């Protein structure tokens, strides 16, 4: 099975990092968050990736072009212009990088990689969020539901501290730094899709989360895999630092490999 990853957005809310590189190349623990996402899929046996590039996509291409070099011990003999690789580890990945344009919307990017997908079920997600979703079970549910699309539904924690305070009350009776949120399920990415869903995408200006998903839902062709575990997007510098702290602590929940 193949996994398509969106990696072309500007990441404007993380401008401290994305002024010099695309958002999926922002590092957590010294590795791009894109690498972390691919490792999650690889842990479930999915090693064939299609990366939808856009903004500063050449940086992603250069990263994979030099991946083996990055991961190896190497000697450069400057006198003879030689390079000797001593040891290294390469992932069992096949990576197709497609330039889908700087300004293309999420649906348009998916439509542009149609020729690389064949006629089989595939995975699809955003290049800026990590979680510990059981992708094997997600795929199993998708096939059991027999719908064209399945998304991973999550309940994110509240972003700010929550307090209990009545109408006339001035003393706080409870405080929670990271409340569970309002109970609403939201789209957490990590889709499993049938190739027919691309027929619902009109052109480069189509936003995947609007007309295509709305139409699939209206047709009862959109299922949800409820994920109660860890899920965290990297939208802001605060998010990035939170993920970095989890990684440094050795307790990163998304590290399933």
Digit-by-digit pLDDT tens for the chain (257 residues) are 999 999 988 766 676 666 778 999 999 999 999 999 999 999 999 999 999 999 999 999 999 998 888 788 889 999 999 988 887 677 899 999 999 999 999 999 999 999 999 999 999 999 999 999 999 999 999 999 999 999 999 988 765 555 555 666 555 555 565 566 666 788 999 999 999 999 999 999 999 999 999 999 999 999 999 999 999 999 899 999 999 999 999 999 999 99
Q: In this structure, is residue 30 part of a structural domain?
A: yes
What's the total number of domains in the chain? 1
8 Å CB contact between 124 and 191:
yes
For residue 67, being part of any structural domain is answered with yes
From residue 101, give the alpha-carbon distance in Å to each of 6, 53, 61, 65, 198: 12, 7, 14, 20, 18
CATH code: domain of residue 118:
3.90.550.10
Global model pTM greater than 0.75: yes
Q: Domain limits at 128?
A: 1-153+185-247
Decide if 142 is inside a domain: yes
* Structural domain includes residue 93: yes
DSSP 102-116: SS--HHHHHHHTGGG
Q: Does 72 fall in a domain?
A: yes
The answer to whether residue 178 sits within a structural domain is no
Domain assignment present for residue 255? The answer is: no
**Rounded to a whole number, what is the distance in angstroms from the first to the last CA of the chain?**
18
200 inside domain: yes
């Amino acid at each position: 099975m193949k996994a398509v990853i969106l990696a072309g957005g500007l990441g404007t809310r993380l401008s401290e990092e994305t002024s010099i590189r695309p958002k999926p190349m922002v590092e957590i623990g010294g590795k791009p968050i894109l690498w972390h996402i691919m490792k999650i899929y690889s842990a479930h046996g999915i090693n064939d990736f299609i990366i939808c590039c856009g903004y500063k996509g050449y940086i992603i291409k250069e990263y994979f072009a030099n991946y083996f070099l990055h991961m190896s011990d190497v000697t450069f003999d400057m006198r003879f212009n030689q390079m000797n690789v001593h040891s290294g580890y390469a992932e069992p990945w096949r990576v197709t990088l497609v330039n889908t344009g700087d300004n293309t919307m999420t649906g348009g990017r998916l439509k542009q990689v149609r020729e690389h997908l064949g006629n089989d079920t595939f995975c699809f997600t955003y290049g800026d969020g990590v979680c510990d979703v059981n992708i094997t079970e997600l795929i199993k549910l998708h096939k059991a539901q027999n719908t064209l699309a399945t998304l991973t539904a999550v309940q994110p924690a509240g972003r700010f501290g929550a307090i209990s305070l009545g109408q006339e009350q001035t003393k706080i009776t409870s405080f929670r730094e990271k409340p569970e949120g309002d109970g609403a399920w939201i789209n957490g990415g990590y889709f499993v899709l049938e190739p027919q869903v691309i027929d619902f995408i009109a052109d480069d200006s189509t936003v995947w989360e609007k007309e295509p998903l709305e139409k699939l839902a209206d047709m009862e062709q959109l299922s949800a895999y409820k994920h109660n575990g860890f899920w965290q997007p990297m939208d802001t510098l605060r998010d990035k630092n939170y993920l970095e702290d989890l990684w440094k602590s050795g307790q990163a929940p998304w590290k399933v490999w």
